[in-house]
């Protein structure tokens, strides 16, 4: 091979190499234009991956305090409560009632309550306003409060007279058959009448406690056991 031909080949190789470098530079220039976009895309993909794979620690739930607000109301209503055997235990009637969710108390206007104990004895209560728990077993009566237990005949045949409590405030526990008050009360038992500054009564023990300025009026009982008078005429002589 001659030197001339060798030089020609070497020159061709150099031109080919220079052409390859020019293509590489042009490709690099083209890629450099889009490099910021590629980097931003890679950063976005990396951020998305971190968000998807980072554990989330939820903040503890903040307990909302129940407000003393009316959640429902009733107008001219009747509520009846029954025992396990289906017998009527109590009946509550009112002109209007408002229920408070935070205390589960029913506030009743112009209330009338009728309660029946297991022996069938009836107790009634009325007041301008009452505050009753969910099952009606505990009631606070305010304004012209009146609780009446009707007269009854015991198993031994002994009669229990009618019992009446009057006051501006009476706290009745119907299931326990108790009535209490921290305000003056009038107690009427049959024809007898008592007053006191504070009061408590337990029907199961049949004991009433009156404190403060206590006064009582006892009415004499009428004797009905006298034998009837018998009138007889002398027999005519034959």
CA distance 44 to 61: 32
Query: Is the overall model pTM greater than 0.75, yes or no?
Result: no
pLDDT in single tens digits along all 238 residues of the chain: 555 455 545 555 555 656 665 655 565 566 556 566 556 666 555 555 555 555 554 555 555 566 778 888 899 999 888 888 888 888 889 999 999 988 889 999 999 999 888 888 888 999 999 998 877 788 999 999 999 988 887 767 778 888 999 999 999 887 788 899 999 999 999 899 999 999 899 888 888 899 999 998 988 876 554 444 433 344 444 4
Tokens 């326990």 correspond to what residue? Answer: 176
- Tokens representing 78 are 């009747």
H helix count then E strand count, the chain: 1, 14
pLDDT of the residue at 71: 86
CA end-to-end span of the chain, whole Å? Answer: 198
pLDDT of the residue at 232: 38
- Tokens representing 124 are 């009634």
- Tokens representing 220 are 């004499």
The answer for residues whose C-beta is within 8 angstroms of residue 126's C-beta and 6 or more apart is 111, 112, 113, 141, 144, 145, 146
pLDDT of the residue at 28: 57
């Amino acid at each position: 091979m001659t030197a001339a031909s060798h030089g020609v080949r070497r020159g061709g190789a150099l031109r080919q190499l220079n052409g390859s470098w020019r293509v590489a530079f042009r490709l690099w220039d083209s890629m450099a234009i889009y490099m910021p976009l590629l980097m931003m895309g890679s950063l976005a993909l990396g951020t998305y991956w971190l968000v998807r794979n980072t554990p989330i620690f939820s903040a503890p739930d903040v307990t909302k305090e129940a407000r003393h607000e009316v959640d429902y109301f009733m107008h001219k209503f009747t509520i009846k409560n029954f025992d396990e055997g289906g017998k009527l235990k109590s009946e509550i009637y009112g002109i209007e009632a408002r229920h408070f969710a935070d205390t589960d108390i029913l506030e009743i206007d112009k209330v009338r309550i009728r309660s029946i104990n297991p022996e069938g004895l009836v107790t009634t209560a009325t007041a301008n306003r009452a505050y009753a728990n969910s099952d009606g077993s505990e009631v606070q009566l305010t304004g012209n409060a009146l609780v009446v237990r009707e007269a009854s005949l015991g198993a031994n045949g002994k009669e229990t007279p009618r019992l009446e409590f009057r006051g501006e405030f009476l706290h009745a526990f119907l299931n326990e058959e108790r009535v209490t008050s921290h305000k003056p009360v009038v107690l009427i038992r049959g024809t007898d009448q008592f007053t006191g500054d504070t009061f408590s009564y337990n029907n199961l023990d049949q004991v009433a406690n009156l404190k403060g300025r206590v006064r009582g009026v006892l009415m004499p009982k009428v004797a009905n056991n006298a034998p009837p008078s018998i009138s007889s005429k002398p027999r005519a002589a034959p």
